[in-house]
Copies of this chain bind each other. A is one copy, B any other.
Amino acid sequence: MLKKLTEEQKSVILETGIAEFAEKGLNQANINVIAKKAGISVGVLYKYYKDKDAFFLACLRRSLDFLEAIIADFMNGEEKMLARVAKMIRALQYYSRLHPNYVNMYNEITSGSSKKYAPMLARQIEGVSAKVYTEFITKAKENSDIRSDINPMMFAFFFDNLLMMMHFSYCSEYYRERFKIYCGEDVFDNDALIESELLKFIESAFTIDQSAIVHKGQMDIKS
């Protein structure tokens, strides 16, 4: 019973931490409780992690590694913009159900609770996706896959805002409630509808272009 911690056990400790932090938040989660639930002593937890903050950041890292894999998926493949977006929405729905805690860890840092790390974490976490999305939109613009009259950085930002809110809306207590208020008690039984409506929203924002507007003008003159 009294042995060196295995990799397996270290994993259990992190997962237990993630579960507690995701549920209670950084400050309300109790280290003694986490240790007990993970089946180890507090002492050994402090041999591996300097303090509560360091442990929290380790849990966060593990959660983010997972979430970042979804974006990596976005980068691979040769499909066009919208096919990729559709893929991302489905991935988002799938992983939000599988690992809501990872998403809630992310949500946790966006609120004030870990203010001191906000700039560092933002750079670590958002840096990659911001670059990927912006570059992708710039390229799509050059290829005329999407409209020409937009600011790629801004549109990448709005795009990520929508995805981020969808993540939270599947995972966090408050946002789940809000989602139901907007879209009905049974939204969570209708992933296909959510996917198609969100895709429609994003598609239109990205694809209406000036030629279409000119065209519409011509139509009006005709009638």
Contacts and interface: CB of A to CB of B under 8 A. Distances in A.
Interface string A72-113: 000000000000000000000000000000001001111111
Interface of A: 22-25, 27-28, 104, 107-113, 115, 118-119, 121-123, 126-127, 130, 134, 147, 149-151, 153-158, 160-162, 164-166, 168-169, 172-175, 177-179, 181-184, 193-194, 197-198, 200-202, 204-208, 212, 215-216, 219
Majority secondary structure, A binding face: helix
Number of copies: 2
A221 to B, nearest CB: 14
B153 A183 contact: yes
A115 B25 CA distance: 10
A155 B202 CA distance: 11
- The residue among A160, A181, A193 with the most chain B CB atoms within 10 A of its own CB is A181
Contacts of A181: 122-123, 126-127, 130
Contact of A164 (B130, B165, B206): B165
